């Protein structure tokens, strides 16, 4: 593994253990040249997942899009970064556990909204307003009423 600090191509593993999610290995490494330490994660390579968009275009699954959407929904909300990271991992696990080669973006969006509803109601409404393309204030109010009715 190449050192991210000095570029030395040879580093050594100091410690290996399963990562928190259980699906990857966390390795602490040390560079013999510069002496710095860094962490790497080793994950099983899976068959690429294809996402079917609303317009029927297909693109490769991108975890970053889910992270970005959740981060935007949780902007200035009291949701710790660690909780967001774990939520993204849960969403990704749920997606890959379906063992499908193609998945509609609608299914991914519904999974994200379900997780956000449990995480933070304001973040959920923010995400839903963009995802469901609320056309006017009445649609927005209907969603808010459905949340309030369930309390």
The tens digit of pLDDT for each residue in 111-149 reads 999 999 889 988 988 888 887 777 777 777 777 787 777
Q: In what helix (H) or strand (E) does residue 67 lie, and over which residues does it extend?
A: helix 63-73
pLDDT, tens digit, 9 for 90 and up, residues 29-45: 999 999 999 999 888 76
State phi, psi for 120 to the nearest 5 degrees. Answer: -160, 120
pLDDT at 77 over 80: yes
Task: Give pLDDT, residue 45.
Answer: 66
Sequence-ordered list of residues with C-beta below 8 angstroms from that of 95, at least 6 positions apart, any chain: 49, 61, 103, 108, 111
Q: Name which of 73, 80, 76 is nearest 127 in CA terms.
A: 73
Order the strands of the 24-31 sheet from edge to edge: 11-18, 24-31, 37-43
Angstrom CA distances, 74 to 5, 47, 108, stand at: 32, 31, 18
């Amino acid at each position: 593994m190449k050192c991210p600090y000095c570029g030395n191509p040879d580093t050594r593993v100091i410690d290996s253990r399963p990562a928190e999610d259980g699906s990857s290995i966390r390795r602490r490494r040390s560079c013999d040249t510069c002496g710095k330490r860094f962490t790497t994660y080793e994950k099983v390579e899976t068959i690429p997942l294809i996402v079917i968009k609303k317009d029927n275009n297909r693109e490769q699954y991108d975890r970053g899009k889910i992270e970005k959407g959740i981060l935007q929904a949780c902007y200035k909300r009291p949701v710790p970064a660690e909780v967001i990271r774990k939520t993204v991992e849960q969403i990704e696990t749920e997606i890959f556990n379906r063992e499908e080669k193609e998945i509609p973006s609608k299914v991914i969006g519904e999974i994200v909204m379900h997780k956000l509803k449990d995480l933070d109601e304001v973040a959920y409404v923010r995400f839903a307003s963009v995802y469901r393309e609320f056309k006017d204030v009445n649609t927005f109010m209907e969603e808010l009423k459905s949340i309030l009715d369930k309390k």
